[in-house]
């Protein structure tokens, strides 16, 4: 039984997996046939919370979500941004207790996939299991890259790197138009992601605009000078482990 409305197929999942793993047609069909409970999520709403023991994982069909943790003194660290095709809490399939939370940054569409069904799919199609494993490994690679940024790069470098990463990832899922993409992330959220204050994020973004690197207005971000932005952020897409060469 697939309770997913027809206009909300799991195509984004298959598209994402195909970006990182070579799936057969039979495997793609099996993935598409996963039962899914599709829901609209309001901005700011938590999908999963630290301490939860979820019995299903969230596939993002549309929108933006983030994973975050709150420190003892109430500061928020955003751990990752996710969008179409991502399953940010796929890990809960093997780690029972959530060690961080998941929230929507804007109104989003999410398909909930029961662990039970995912396990059955993996058993019947071990290569889909490999693809999922690979996906979680790439997730970890992104964490490592952010660690390098937060630990060793300047504020300008960190922000440039984040912009580059999001651009490449959004492009692979068809959410970029040319070098522009929707930007529903506030400056405070960028700060919480990169270990910076919102004030400083603001100043750096203004520098970048003044330098002609980017423009950002009305929720749309445009990259005007990709080579220079890439250099500033020391961005190299290898760690995203995308199978096909980027057109940029």
Under the rule (CB under 8 A), what is the footprint of a second copy?
A: 67, 69, 71-72, 75-77, 79, 91, 94-95, 97, 99-100, 123, 126, 129-130, 133-134, 136-141, 143-148, 150-153, 192-195, 234, 238-239, 241
Nearer to DNA, 27 or 192 (CB): 192
Instruction: Give which of a second copy, DNA, none residue 155 binds (C-beta under 5 to 8 Å, depending on kind).
Output: DNA
Least distance to a second copy from the beta carbon of 177, Å?
Answer: 29
Contact indicator for 10, 111 with CB cutoff of 8 Å: yes
SS3 11: helix
Nearer to DNA, 130 or 207 (CB): 207
Q: What whole-number distance in Å separates Cα of residue 74 and Cα of residue 191?
A: 15
Instruction: Give which of a second copy, DNA, none residue 144 binds (C-beta under 5 to 8 Å, depending on kind).
Output: a second copy
Chain residues in the site for DNA (CB under 7 A) = 154-156, 186-188, 191, 195-200, 202-203, 205-206, 218-219
CB burial of 226-240 (b: ≥16 within 10 Å; e: otherwise) equals beebbebbebebebb
Instruction: Give which of a second copy, DNA, none residue 45 binds (C-beta under 5 to 8 Å, depending on kind).
Output: none
CB burial of 122-144 (b: ≥16 within 10 Å; e: otherwise) equals beebeebbebbeebeebbeebee
* DSSP letter (8 states) at residue 78: E
């Amino acid at each position: 039984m697939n309770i997913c409305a027809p206009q909300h197929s799991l195509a984004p999942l298959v598209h994402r997996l195909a970006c990182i793993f070579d799936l057969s047609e039979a495997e793609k069909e099996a993935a598409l046939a996963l039962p899914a409970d599709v829901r609209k999520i309001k901005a700011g709403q938590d999908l999963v919370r630290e301490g939860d023991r979820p019995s299903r994982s969230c596939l993002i069909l549309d929108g933006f979500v983030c994973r975050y943790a709150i420190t003892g003194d109430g500061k928020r660290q955003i751990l990752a941004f996710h969008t179409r095709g991502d399953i940010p809490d796929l890990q809960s399939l093997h780690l029972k207790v959530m060690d961080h939370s998941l929230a929507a940054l804007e109104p989003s569409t999410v398909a909930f996939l029961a662990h039970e069904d995912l396990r059955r799919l993996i058993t019947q199609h071990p290569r889909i299991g490999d693809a999922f494993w690979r996906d979680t490994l790439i997730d970890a690679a992104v964490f490592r890259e952010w660690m390098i940024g937060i630990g060793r790069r300047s504020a300008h470098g960190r922000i440039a790197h984040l912009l580059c990463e999001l651009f490449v990832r959004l492009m692979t899922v068809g959410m970029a138009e040319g070098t522009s993409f929707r930007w529903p992330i506030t400056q405070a959220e960028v700060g919480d992601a990169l270990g910076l204050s919102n004030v400083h994020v603001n100043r750096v973004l203004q520098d970048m605009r003044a330098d002609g690197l980017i423009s950002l207005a009305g929720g749309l971000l445009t990259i005007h000078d990709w080579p220079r932005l890439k250099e500033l952020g020391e961005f190299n897409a290898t760690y995203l482990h995308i199978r096909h060469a980027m057109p940029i």
